[in-house]
């Protein structure tokens, strides 16, 4: 029941035909990442690289590469966890049929870790330079741990009960880090480790940190799981893994999993920071170089048969998409118990997760009023934006579920069609400016700083969305190639953006005035100004990625017939979003053509990846 370690998992996947071994030498610098991304895009198997250039440790890629395989890994325990969620949603279920829930006692018992004095992780030590030098993108600043499990405990209340396990970026080569002595620890805003770090600084004491790599796959998923406050991730790992997690002490006094493959153990002992990055991130761009805390490494542990699991982070969808899908399956039913009135939430992976949230809420404040307008939806939107990592959303579209009970929040074109048919741009835009956004999002005013907008729609349809271009259309000079993305959504190619980061673009204001004066495109509720309208409209994913990663609501939303009344901004004509690349944006990720050609050869007839990619 469950896997005790990564080696058991690999043997099981290989026996089931879900894993392929690559016995040719593979370079962890760029090449392994290209292979993993190609196999992921093909819906292919997990990959075991047995000959890694420059390292004695094998590498494992694409372990969570399909949702089906992720479910397979936890097939013995997912039903019990889903049952626990249902009991939270409906506690009366346990009273109606208690005999059906007796098996949950064991699941709950597995939440408590088991402390042991010895384990495979204590068998060996190595230097950071012995680890696979994995670099995913040509402009990455060095080698990174891409599936880290970063463990810390509260200095105010030490012990596993007040611990945090998170997936925070770990750079172990390059930059200004002392070789074999220091690693960069990049944790984004609103992460649990920040609370522990703040407590350590307040007490003027070091923060002990252990970085686990590998071990039971349940530990990896636990590190990204959004859990209720007060529930340690290591407890969830035990329930998901089907057994109590065995923990042994490391050199710094913290625990580490006895069956982990590697553990980088050390302390953050002062306020020292160093530039970390650049690194290809989950928005599809490079997160740039910024100062982040430094972990002084005391020891690097590894088990005798250690395997280095890795992934590639880049423009979605990527392997971490499976994490999001599995998390939604486990937690979706519980959303109404956490956020009353909210029926469903969808963090849109193709838009980089945090930039775009879709939500279905309820309008119950004035059921006797035949003129439906967003009221309770706004209360629910505020609750969503005050909830954990959901607070990092930039765009939140929320619709009243009662207007169309059959509306599926995961049918993105249908959701946009529903909202755009009903939205009133004079009333339904609600901004928050100068607030926090995702650390990796460069569209705002600065690092961690940007804006949000809630777009709430309720009531019957107020317009029919156009699906064809007008014959007599004309646009102002510099704007051309109008292309339809979705019903009611038009992409227009604009001139290169040169605006200052802290200002709006006069060319966009001119465009809105001309559209108002000429009456052109008034029937289109949403117009995007982009660098390449054909690319933007070529697929739904392109539209989502371009629109929501390349715009900040406060800086980049304009409107035809715009006005501010009693400090509420709105417009009578189309909403216009400037989704062009800006001078302050991070560059988009691009692969190395020569490495791509090498991988093509591996996929050719007779090659080890033939018929895999």
Same domain flag for 162 and 213:
yes
- Total domain count, the chain: 3
Q: Is 343 helix (H, G, I), strand (E, B) or coil?
A: coil
Q: Which two tokens stand for residue 341?
A: 């009135």
380: Cβ–Cβ under 8 A, 6 or more apart, which residues?
Answer: 339, 340, 341, 342, 359, 361, 362, 398
Is residue 609 situated within a structural domain? no
Q: Report the DSSP beta bridge partners of residue 114.
A: 246
Residue 543 maps to a domain? yes
291 in the same domain as 188: yes
pLDDT at position 388, please?
Answer: 82
Co-location of 445 and 553 in the same domain: no
What pLDDT shows up at residue 102? Answer: 58
Task: Decide: pTM greater than 0.85.
Answer: yes
**Checking phi first, is residue 469 left (phi over 0); if not, alpha (psi -120 to 50) or beta?**
beta
Q: What is the pLDDT of residue 95?
A: 45
Q: Are 166 and 290 within one domain?
A: yes
CATH of the domain at 421: 3.40.1670.10
Give Cβ neighbours of residue 230 (< 8 Å, ≥ 6 apart). Answer: none
**Taking the chain (613 residues) in consecutive chunks of 10 residues, what is each chunk's mean pLDDT?**
92 97 96 97 97 97 96 93 71 51 78 95 97 97 97 94 94 95 90 91 95 97 85 92 95 96 94 94 95 96 98 94 88 83 94 95 82 89 90 96 95 98 97 92 92 96 95 89 97 94 92 94 97 98 98 97 96 98 96 95 92 90
Q: Any bridge partners for residue 247, and if so which?
A: 115, 257
- Within this chain, do residues 132 and 223 fall inside the same structural domain, yes or no? yes
Residue keyed to tokens 């994995």: 134
Two tokens, residue 102: 């007796």
Instruction: Answer for the pair 313, 146: CB distance below 8 angstroms, yes or no.
Output: yes
Q: CATH no. for residue 147?
A: 2.30.110.10
**Rounded to whole angstroms, how far apart are CA atoms 558 and 336?**
34
Considering the domain architecture, whether residues 372 and 507 belong to the same structural domain is answered as no
Domain check: are 32 and 162 in the same one? yes
Same structural domain for residues 431 and 508?
no
Same domain, 57 and 167: yes
194 and 121 inside one domain = yes
598 domain residue, yes or no: no
Range of the domain at 559: 480-578
**CA distances (Å), 404 to each of 113, 326, 399, 460, in order?**
46, 26, 9, 9
User: Do 421 and 532 fall within a single domain?
Assistant: no
Do 146 and 259 lie in a common domain? yes
The per-residue pLDDT for 101 is 59
C-alpha torsion 487→488→493→495, nearest 10: -160
User: For residue 288, is it within any domain?
Assistant: yes
DSSP string spanning 323-347? HHHHHHHHHGGGHHHHSTT--EEEE
Write the burial class of residue 590 (CB in 10 Å: 0-12 exposed, 13-18 middle, 19+ buried).
exposed
């Amino acid at each position: 029941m469950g896997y005790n370690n990564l080696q058991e998992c690999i043997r099981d996947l290989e026996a089931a035909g879900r894993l392929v071994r690559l016995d040719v030498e593979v370079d962890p610098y760029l090449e392994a990442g290209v292979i993993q991304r190609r196999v992921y895009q093909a819906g292919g198997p997990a990959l075991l690289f047995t000959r890694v250039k420059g390292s004695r440790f094998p590498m494992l890629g694409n372990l969570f590469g399909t949702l089906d395989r992720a479910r397979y890994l936890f097939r013995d325990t997912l039903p019990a966890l889903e049952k626990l969620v249902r009991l939270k949603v409906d506690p009366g279920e346990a009273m109606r049929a208690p005999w059906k829930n007796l098996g949950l006692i064991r699941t709950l018992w597995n939440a408590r870790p088991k402390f042991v004095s010895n384990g495979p992780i204590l068998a060996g030590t190595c230097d950071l330079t012995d680890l696979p030098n994995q670099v995913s993108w040509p402009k990455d600043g060095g080698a990174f741990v891409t599936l880290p499990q970063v463990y810390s405990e509260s200095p105010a209340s030490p012990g596993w009960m007040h611990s945090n396990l998170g997936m925070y970026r770990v750079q172990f080569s390059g930059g200004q880090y002392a070789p074999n002595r220091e690693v960069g620890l990049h944790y984004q805003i609103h992460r649990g480790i920040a609370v522990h770090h703040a407590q350590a600084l307040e007490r003027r004491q070091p923060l002990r940190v252990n970085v686990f790599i590998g071990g039971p796959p349940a530990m990896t998923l636990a590190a990204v799981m959004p859990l209720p406050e007060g529930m340690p991730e290591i407890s969830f790992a035990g329930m998901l893994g089907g057994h109590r997690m065995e923990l042994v002490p490391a050199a710094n006094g913290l625990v580490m999993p006895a069956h982990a493959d590697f553990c980088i153990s050390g302390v953050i002992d002062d306020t020292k920071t160093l530039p970390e990055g650049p690194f290809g991130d989950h928005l599809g761009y490079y997160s740039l170089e910024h100062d982040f805390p430094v972990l002084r490494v005391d020891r690097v542990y590894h088990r005798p048969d250690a395997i280095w699991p890795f992934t590639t982070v880049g423009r979605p969808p990527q392997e971490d998409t499976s994490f999001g899908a599995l998390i939604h399956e486990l937690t979706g039913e519980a959303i109404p118990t956490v956020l009353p009135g909210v029926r469903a939430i969808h963090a849109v992976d193709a838009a980089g997760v945090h930039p775009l949230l879709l939500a279905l809420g309820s309008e119950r404040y004035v059921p006797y009023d035949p003129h439906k307008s967003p009221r309770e939806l706004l209360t629910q939107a505020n609750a969503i934006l005050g909830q954990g990592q959901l607070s990092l959303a930039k765009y939140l579209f929320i619709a009243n579920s009662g207007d169309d009970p059959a509306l599926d929040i995961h049918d993105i074109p249908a959701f946009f069609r529903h909202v755009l048919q009903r939205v009133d741009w004079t009333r339904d835009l609600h901004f928050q400016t100068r607030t926090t956004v995702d650390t990796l999002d460069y569209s705002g005013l600065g690092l961690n700083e940007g804006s949000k907008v809630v777009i709430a729609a309720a009531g019957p349809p107020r317009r029919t969305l156009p699906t064809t271009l007008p014959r007599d259309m004309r646009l102002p000079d510099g704007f051309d190639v109008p292309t339809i993305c979705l019903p009611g959504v038009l992409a227009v190619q604009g001139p290169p953006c040169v605006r200052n980061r802290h200002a709006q673009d006069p060319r966009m204001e001119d465009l809105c005035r001309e559209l108002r004066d000429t009456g052109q495109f008034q029937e289109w509720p949403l117009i995007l100004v982009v660098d390449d309208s054909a690319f933007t409209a070529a697929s739904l994913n392109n539209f989502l990625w371009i629109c929501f990663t390349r715009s900040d609501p406060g800086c980049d939303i304009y409107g035809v017939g715009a006005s501010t009344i009693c400090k509420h901004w709105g417009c009578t004509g189309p909403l216009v979003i400037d989704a062009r690349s800006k001078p302050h944006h991070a560059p988009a990720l691009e692969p190395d053509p020569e490495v791509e050609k090498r991988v093509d050869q591996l996929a050719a007839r007779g090659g080890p990846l033939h018929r895999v990619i």
